[in-house]
Chains A and B, each alone.
Chain A
Amino acid sequence: MRNLTLSLALLAGTALSTPVFADGHLPIVEEPLELSIHLHFKRATAYDENWPVEQAAREMTNIHLKNATVGSNTDNSEEAFNLLLASGDIPDIVGTTRIKEYVNQYGPEGAFQPLNDLIEEHAPNLKAFLDERPELRAAITSADGNIYYVPYFPDGKYGRAYFIRQDWLDKLGLETPETVAEVKTVLEAFRDGDPNGNGLKDEVPYFARQWEEAVRLVTLFDGRTSGSDTYHDFMVDDGQIKHPYATEGYRDGIKNLAEWYAEGLVDSEVFTRGSSARDFLLSENLGGMTHDWFASTSGYNRLSSEIDGFAFKAFAPPASPSGRRLAEHRRIPVKPDGWAMGFGNEHPIETIKYFDFYFAEEGRRLANFGVEGQQYEMVDGEPKFTQEFLDGGPVNAQLYQVGGQLVARGFPQDYNYEIQWTNEIALEGIALYDQGDYLTDQFLGVSMNTDEQKTFDKSWSSIRTYMLERQQAWILGTGNVEADWDDYMATLEGMGLNDVLSVMQSAYVRQYGG
C-alpha cells in the first residue's frame, strides 16, 4: 500500500498504454473513466454523483467521479481528512479545505503526487493561469519545490468595509468621517447625541461581531493587525516577514484604541457579544459603526421598513494621522483549499486534464454558475442566472446544492457570479472603494521545510497566546501599553519570536525569491 516505487511503475505503465487526446480537447478520454474522490467541506460533506454539475462535467469530459468520501457524518473537514489518511486508502482525488498544509506535510511523505510536470505538459489552461500570476504559483509551492494541490482561487477584491449609520450622521448634522480624528468626533456624537431618539444613552458607537474587528481600528492609527484575510497573521513589509503585533505602529494604535474603549466609543461588551452582535445592535437601533463584509452588512438596509430612515452605508477607510487610508481586509487571491491527487491514482494524466478542465472556459463557467438552461442562460455572451434561480434563496447556498462553487474543488472563481445577486448599496460601496487605492499586498503564506516547521511549531502557538493576552489586557485597561512595551518586546524575543520570523523569512525567500 505504501509502496511508492511500485505505484510509480504502475503509473508509468498506464500512462504509456492509455490513449490520451491532444491537450485541451474534450472529451478527455474516449472510454468512460471512473475516478474516486474524497470531497469534504463545511457545506458539502460528500461528493454527490447526482449533482447537475457533475452530470454535465461527466458528459463533457467522459470522466466520472465516484464518491469515496470518508467522514461524511461530521462537518469537521480536518477530522474527516485525518480519518481518510489513517485508513491508508487514499482515493484518486482528495478535495477539502486547508488542504495546502496537509499536502505540504504528507506530499513529501508520499501520500500525494507532485503535479509540476503534469501541469507543465498536460494542463495548458492551468499553466497559463499560473504563468500570469507567478506569486500565486509561488504561494502553492511546497518547501521541496513541488506543487501538490490545485487551489480554489477566489475572485473579487474586497471583503470587509467600514459601515456607518448615514441617517444618524444626517440627524446630527455630521459629514462622513474622512480622517481618524473625524471618526472620533462622530463616535462621540453617536454616544452623546442620542441619535436613535429614545432619550436613553444606550447607543453603541462602534461594534463588531468579532472582537478582532475592534482591534482592526488599530489600522486607523498607522498600525497593522494582519497581513492576510486571517486574523493575527504575519505580514510582509518590504520583503521582510514581520508580525504586526511587534511593530511600533501597533503600539500607538493600541494606546489610542484603549482610550476609545475607556471612553465608551467601542462596544464595552465587544469581547463577549459574539456573532449575533450585528444582528442585535442593528435591529434594536443601537449600533452606529462597524467593519464587516460588504454583501451581508448591506443587506441590513432592509431594516428601513421597521426603523424610520435606517441607512447603513459603506464609507472609505478614514485617513490615519500619517494620511494612510488602508482597507486591510481584502479577499485573498488564493485559498489553502482545493484538490490534490492521491498516491495510488493510476491515471495522473487524465486527472490533471480533468483538473485543467475547470480552468478552461466551459469548465470554469460550470463550476461558477452551474448548468446552462438550469441555473443560468447565456445573455449577450455572458452567463446570467435565471430569475427563478435568483428568487430561490441565497445563490451560493443554492449552487452548493447543484455542485457549483465548491471550495474543495480547484477552480478560478468568477466574481460576476456574485455581482448578479449583490444589492445596490453594496455595489455602491464597492465602487467607492474602487475609486481609491486602499488595498495592500497580502501575505500568501510560506511553506516551511521540516526543520523550519519544527522551530515554528515549538514557539509560535505560545507567542500568539501571549500576544493576544497582552492585547486584550491593554484594551481593557488592565495594562498600559506604553509602560509595558519594552517588557513585552523582550518577552517576545525570549519566547523565540525572532527564530520564528527568521525561519519564515528563509522559507519566504526560497518560495518567492525574496
Chain B
Amino acid sequence: MSDASHIKPATKTAPISRGARIVDVLKRDWQLYVMLLPTIIWLLLFLYKPMYGLQIAFKDYSVFRGIANSPWVGFEHFETLFNNDQFIRAIRNTVVISFWSLLIGFPVPILLALLFNEVLNQKFKKTTQTIVYLPHFISSVIIAGIVIAAFAPSAGIVNTAIRALGGDAIYFLTKPEWFRPIFIGTGIWQEAGFQSIVYLAAIAGVSPTLYESAVVDGASRWQMMWKITIPSILPTIIIMLIIRIGNILEVSFEMIILLYQPATYETADVVNTFIYRQGLQGGQYDLAAAAGLFNAVMAFTLVMAANALSKRYSRTSLW
C-alpha cells in the first residue's frame, strides 16, 4: 500500500528511466539498504566467492599448484564416483534417511507448537518448553555419547528395560536395521522443540478476533484448532517444508560419523560421510568436491521442484 502511494508522484510527472528510479528508491530507503549490506557482503564472501573453487571437481587438483594452475580432467571424477557402488549406496541411504526424517520429523514440531498453544498453565508451559528446547543446545558429541550409553548392551537404559521385560539385550549400534530409527529418533529429540518456535510465532500472529467470533458461534477448542489455527499457519508450514526439502540431502553427518561403524555402513553411510572418508581422510579433495557438487545440484533441483509444486497447488512459495 505504502509502495503504491510513493510511486504515484513519479508516474504523474514525465516518464523516468529505470536507472533514475532505482537511484530514487535508494535515496529514499537508504537506511534499509545499509542494514541489508552486511548480509549481502556475507553472502558474497562466504557463499559466492567459494563457488570459484567448485571447478576443482573438474580438475586434477593440487593445493600447491593452486586452483587456476591445476590441469582440467573433465568428468573423470564423476565417472569414478558413479562407478563406485559405495557412492550409489550412499546416495540411496541419504535419500532414505532424509525421506523418513522428513516424514516423521517434520510434523512433530507442528504438533508440539499446537500442544503448547493449548496449554493454559503458564508455569507448566514455560517449563516444558525449556525442557524440549534444551537438547538443541547440546553439542553432537555429547548427544552421541548419551545415545551410545543409552543403547549399550550391558548397562544401557534401553537394554535394561528390555531385560526387565524378559527380552534379550540387543547391541543396537552394530545392527544395520536399527541405525536409521535411532538416528532419526535422536534427530527429532534434539531439534523438534527448537523448530517448534517458528510455528509458535506463527500461531501468535493469528488474529484473536477469529477465535472470539468462533467462541461466539459456539466452536469447541478442537474445531478452532482445525478450522482457524492450522489454516492460518499453513503458509508457514509450507515454507518450512520447502526449506526442509532443499536441505534433504544435508543429513547431519557429524552425528552419523559419531554413531556409525563399518558394521552399519550398509544403512548409515550417506554422501557426506562418504565424502569425508574418501576425500578428506584420503586427501582426494577434487573427488570430494565432485561429490559435493553433485549433492548441491540435487538439492537445487529438489527445492525448485518443491517450490513449483507448492506455487501451483497452494499458491504459497519461496519466490
Chain A interface (Cβ < 8 Å from any Cβ of B): 2, 82, 85-86, 88, 101, 105-106, 109-111, 202, 268-269, 271-272, 274, 457-458, 460-462, 465-466, 468-469, 471-473, 476, 478
Q: Say yes or no: is B49 at the interface (Cβ < 8 Å to chain A).
A: no
Q: Say yes or no: is B84 at the interface (Cβ < 8 Å to chain A).
A: yes
Cβ distance A97 to chain B, nearest Cβ, rounded Å: 14
19 A-B pairs besides A457-B282, A460-B282, A469-B266 with CB distance below 8 A are A86-B63, A101-B283, A110-B64, A202-B154, A269-B152, A269-B171, A271-B171, A272-B148, A272-B152, A272-B174, A272-B261, A457-B284, A457-B287, A461-B277, A462-B85, A462-B278, A465-B265, A469-B262, A476-B174
B173 touches A109 (CB 8 A): no
Contacts of B277 in A (CB 8 A): 461, 465
- Bound form: Cα–Cα A2–B62 in Å: 14
Subset of 15 A-B contacts with CB under 8 Å:
A85-B64, A106-B62, A109-B62, A109-B65, A271-B171, A271-B261, A272-B148, A272-B173, A460-B282, A461-B278, A461-B284, A465-B269, A466-B86, A469-B263, A476-B174
- Bound form: Cα–Cα A458–B86 in Å: 12
Cβ distance B212 to chain A, nearest Cβ, rounded Å: 56
Known: A271-B174, A462-B84. A86 touches B261 (CB 8 A): no
- Bound form: Cα–Cα A473–B84 in Å: 21
Cβ distance B171 to chain A, nearest Cβ, rounded Å: 7
- Bound form: Cα–Cα A465–B174 in Å: 15
Q: Say yes or no: is B66 at the interface (Cβ < 8 Å to chain A).
A: yes
B261, B266, B284 pick with most chain A CB within 10 angstroms: B261
Cβ distance A99 to chain B, nearest Cβ, rounded Å: 13
Using CB atoms, name the residue of chain B closest to A81. B63
Q: Say yes or no: is B292 at the interface (Cβ < 8 Å to chain A).
A: no
- Bound form: Cα–Cα A109–B282 in Å: 20
B152 touches A465 (CB 8 A): no
Using CB atoms, name the residue of chain B closest to A274. B148
Closest 3 A-B residue pairs measured CB to CB?
Answer: A468-B262, A472-B263, A85-B63
User: Among the listed A106, A202, A268, A271, which residue makes an inter-chain contact with B64, where contact means beta carbons less than 8 Å apart?
Assistant: A106
B174 touches A472 (CB 8 A): yes
- Bound form: Cα–Cα A472–B263 in Å: 5
User: Among the listed B80, B153, B174, B281, which residue makes an inter-chain contact with A458, where contact means beta carbons less than 8 Å apart?
Assistant: B80
Contacts of B265 in A (CB 8 A): 465, 469
- Bound form: Cα–Cα A461–B262 in Å: 13
- Bound form: Cα–Cα A425–B283 in Å: 41
A269, A468, A476 pick with most chain B CB within 10 angstroms: A269
Contacts of A476 in B (CB 8 A): 171, 174, 263
User: Among the listed A111, A271, A460, which residue makes an inter-chain contact with B173, where contact means beta carbons less than 8 Å apart?
Assistant: A271
Known: A101-B283, A469-B265. A268 touches B84 (CB 8 A): no
- Bound form: Cα–Cα A466–B152 in Å: 25
Cβ distance B134 to chain A, nearest Cβ, rounded Å: 25
Cβ distance B54 to chain A, nearest Cβ, rounded Å: 16
Query: 1/0 per position for B264-283, CB-CB distance to A under 8 A?
Result: 01100100000001100111
B262 touches A268 (CB 8 A): no
Known: A462-B86, A465-B277, A472-B262. A269 touches B153 (CB 8 A): yes
Cβ distance B80 to chain A, nearest Cβ, rounded Å: 6
Using CB atoms, name the residue of chain B closest to A470. B262
- Bound form: Cα–Cα A272–B263 in Å: 11
A2, A82, A272, A478 pick with most chain B CB within 10 angstroms: A272
- Bound form: Cα–Cα A105–B282 in Å: 13
Contacts of A466 in B (CB 8 A): 86
Using CB atoms, name the residue of chain A closest to B261. A271
- Bound form: Cα–Cα A163–B284 in Å: 39
B283 touches A268 (CB 8 A): no
Contacts of B261 in A (CB 8 A): 271-272, 472
Using CB atoms, name the residue of chain A closest to B80. A458
- Bound form: Cα–Cα A469–B154 in Å: 23
Cβ distance A82 to chain B, nearest Cβ, rounded Å: 5
Using CB atoms, name the residue of chain B closest to A463. B86
Using CB atoms, name the residue of chain A closest to B266. A469
A461 touches B64 (CB 8 A): no
Contacts of B62 in A (CB 8 A): 105-106, 109
Cβ distance B160 to chain A, nearest Cβ, rounded Å: 14
- Bound form: Cα–Cα A466–B87 in Å: 12
A82 touches B262 (CB 8 A): no
Contacts of A462 in B (CB 8 A): 84-86, 278
Using CB atoms, name the residue of chain B closest to A202. B154
Contacts of B269 in A (CB 8 A): 465
- Bound form: Cα–Cα A272–B73 in Å: 41
- Bound form: Cα–Cα A86–B285 in Å: 13
Cβ distance B315 to chain A, nearest Cβ, rounded Å: 47
A268 touches B153 (CB 8 A): yes
Contacts of B154 in A (CB 8 A): 202, 268-269
- Bound form: Cα–Cα A144–B153 in Å: 52
Contacts of B287 in A (CB 8 A): 457
B residues 164-203 with Cβ under 8 Å of A? 171, 173-175
A271 touches B263 (CB 8 A): yes
Cβ distance A2 to chain B, nearest Cβ, rounded Å: 8
Contacts of B153 in A (CB 8 A): 268-269
- Bound form: Cα–Cα A476–B173 in Å: 11
A86 touches B66 (CB 8 A): yes
Using CB atoms, name the residue of chain A closest to B147. A272
Cβ distance B285 to chain A, nearest Cβ, rounded Å: 9
Using CB atoms, name the residue of chain B closest to A460. B282
- Bound form: Cα–Cα A462–B80 in Å: 11
A473 touches B263 (CB 8 A): yes
Contacts of A469 in B (CB 8 A): 262-263, 265-266
- Bound form: Cα–Cα A299–B197 in Å: 51
Using CB atoms, name the residue of chain B closest to A107. B64
Contacts of B69 in A (CB 8 A): 2
Cβ distance A500 to chain B, nearest Cβ, rounded Å: 13
B263 touches A478 (CB 8 A): yes
Query: 1/0 per position for B65-79, CB-CB distance to A under 8 A?
Result: 110010000000000
A111 touches B262 (CB 8 A): no
- Bound form: Cα–Cα A473–B154 in Å: 20
User: Among the listed A85, A105, A458, A465, which residue makes an inter-chain contact with B262, where contact means beta carbons less than 8 Å apart?
Assistant: A465
Cβ distance A210 to chain B, nearest Cβ, rounded Å: 13
Contacts of A105 in B (CB 8 A): 62
Using CB atoms, name the residue of chain A closest to B148. A272
Using CB atoms, name the residue of chain A closest to B283. A101
Contacts of A82 in B (CB 8 A): 63
A86, A110, A268, A461 pick with most chain B CB within 10 angstroms: A461
Cβ distance A281 to chain B, nearest Cβ, rounded Å: 11
Using CB atoms, name the residue of chain A closest to B173. A272
Using CB atoms, name the residue of chain A closest to B84. A462
Contacts of B148 in A (CB 8 A): 272, 274
- Bound form: Cα–Cα A105–B70 in Å: 13
